Amino acid sequence: MTAFRSKTTDNLNQYATRPESTKNAEAMPMDTEVYESPYADPDELRTSTVDRKQLILEDGELGSGNFGTVMKGIYKMRKTEKQVAVKILKNDDNNAAVRDEMLREAGVMQQLDNPYIVRMIGICEAENLMLVMELADLGPLNKFLQKNRQIAVRNITELVHQVSMGMKYLEEHNFVHRDLAARNVLLVTQHYAKISDFGLSKALTEEENYYKAKGHGKWPVKWYAPECMNFFKFSCKSDVWSFGVLMWEAYSLGQKPYKGMKGNEVIQMIESGERMAAPANCPPEMYELMKKCWTYKADERPGFNVVEPRLRDYYYDISQ
């Protein structure tokens, strides 16, 4: 796999078209320090390993997942220090398979550099295997929305648009996420979202624009497109389907999609042409976009190159 990284300044270019009227609005992520890559300063050498001596783990768990716990920490670089999140492999799970899985996730993250994707800072091999990442202190989007129901539609649109920018970046670099859902979008601030959890992600090859799974796994069926379920085929277009479900979760303030339904009932519903109803108070323009994301045939479904500008235009429209 070839490593690539775009410079932080490249990412700024997508704002070149930002309308005058919104330029003086509240601070955007790129106006703040949190937007910066930890390696934006050339004096801070890029490395994929973190020395345990440079890492301080703090009390308190940020969350837990398949591998173990995620803790808050401080990463001391040459000139600065940065708050980080540290995914710690469970001790009893130091078996080869889980370890390989975590290293594979790290391998994908290492190749990505975008403000709307949680960056990996490095791997630390110490008392446990640890994956050191940028910190997104406000946690998963679905939980945040459940607790902050007063949030404005404009704010939701801003966050969902940021996710689409991160996904457009993945699409441009031929990666499929395969687990895009509101639970895997983490918030740095109420106005700054980042895509996380690359445990199921795959790098696509030049020749093939999809990944074919060998069999059915423990899959988030309610977020999966028909071609994933029927042919085990995963592409940027199947991520677009998941993005539609993520939009539905966001505008419904963190509700569970297809509530009370079993996986096979959801599959039947989709196959029969039915789709989820619009969440209460969802702007009709955004519901139309969700339904576009739920186009049955992957070929006819828009890519993130289409979805992202739609969201950007709508966000600018309501920001006037």
User: Which residues are at the interface with ligand AMP (CB under 6 A)?
Assistant: 62-66, 70, 85, 118, 133-136, 139-140, 186, 196-197
Nearest distance from residue 84's CB to ligand AMP, in Å? 8
Nearest distance from residue 246's CB to ligand AMP, in Å? 15
Query: Smaller CB distance to ligand AMP: residue 140 or 279?
Result: 140
| Amino acid of residue 273 | G
Task: Assess contact for 170 and 112: CB atoms under 8 A.
Answer: yes
Nearest distance from residue 113's CB to ligand AMP, in Å? 15
Q: Which residue is nearest to ligand AMP (CB)?
A: 65
- The partner residues of 185 in beta bridges, in order of sequence, read 195
Nearest distance from residue 117's CB to ligand AMP, in Å? 11
β-strand pairing of 81-89 with 129-134: antiparallel
Helix, strand, coil share (%) of the chain residues, nearest 5: 40, 20, 40
Is 87 marked as a binding-site residue? yes
Rounded Cα distance, 244 and 223, in Å: 9
Query: Smaller CB distance to ligand AMP: residue 66 or 319?
Result: 66
Query: Smaller CB distance to ligand AMP: residue 85 or 286?
Result: 85
Query: What amino acid positions are annotated as catalytic residues?
Result: 179
End-to-end alpha carbon distance in the chain: 44
Q: Which residue has the tokens 């070149």?
A: 16
Rounded Cα distance, 147 and 205, in Å: 41
Query: Smaller CB distance to ligand AMP: residue 139 or 302?
Result: 139
> DSSP string spanning 58-78?
EEEEEEE-SSEEEEEEEEE-S
Q: List residues forming the annotated binding site for ATP.
A: 87
Q: List residues forming the annotated binding site.
A: 87
